[in-house]
């Protein structure tokens, strides 16, 4: 009994040790950014851009990865931010922009009829978020629930 227990312990201990220490030392450490960042991949195809609509909050930076699946050269043009990227089939182009104002920004390729838009939403401030009240608090308007009429 003791020999089998020692043998099992001798075999399992290195396996257990490997499982515990196999994670990277930085795996559980978070990383804070000064400017929130979003990353989006945009594919240029025969039908147009995919996705055609991208949304983010004001103050966020957007890193774009553009690729082309057509035989014709493709491009991505965002005139408000003076960003122009051209890509051939199978290539990837990268661009980086920061949106400081909410609104809708149109992107397109001047050589074709395809277009899309980036929607920048207004960010709720901490004061506005804290100032909201719960619907279940006293003094708020009760929601009427519809019930079928009994006949």
Average pLDDT by consecutive 10-residue portion of the chain (151 residues)?
64 60 59 81 90 90 92 89 90 91 90 87 73 61 66 61
Provide the pLDDT for residue 90: 87
Provide the pLDDT for residue 104: 93
Determine contact, residues 127/64, Cβ cutoff 8 Å: no
**What is the model's pTM?**
0.63
Provide the pLDDT for residue 34: 78
Residues contacting 74, CB < 8 A, separation 6+: 44, 66, 68, 86, 87, 88, 109
Determine contact, residues 64/95, Cβ cutoff 8 Å: yes
Provide the pLDDT for residue 94: 93
Q: Is the peptide bond before 28 cis (omega within 30 degrees of 0)?
A: no
What residues are paired with 118 via a beta bridge?
54, 105
48-52: long-range pairs with CB below 8 Å, 24+: 48/114, 48/115, 48/116, 49/76, 49/107, 49/114, 49/115, 49/116, 51/116, 52/115, 52/116, 52/117
């Amino acid at each position: 009994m003791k020999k089998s227990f020692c043998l099992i312990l001798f075999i399992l201990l290195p396996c257990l040790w490997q499982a515990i220490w196999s994670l990277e030392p930085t795996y559980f450490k978070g990383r804070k950014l000064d400017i929130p960042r979003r990353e989006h991949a945009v594919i240029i195809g025969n039908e147009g851009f995919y996705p055609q609509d991208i949304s983010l909050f004001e103050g966020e930076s957007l890193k774009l990865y553009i690729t082309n699946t057509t035989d014709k050269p493709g491009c991505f043009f965002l005139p408000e931010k003076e960003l122009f990227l051209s890509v051939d089939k199978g290539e990837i182009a990268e661009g980086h922009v920061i949106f400081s104002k909410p609104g809708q920004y149109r992107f397109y390729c001047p050589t074709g009829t395809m277009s899309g838009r980036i929607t920048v939403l207004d960010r709720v401030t901490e004061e506005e978020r804290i100032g909201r009240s719960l619907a279940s608090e006293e003094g708020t308007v009760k929601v009427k629930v519809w019930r079928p009429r009994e006949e």
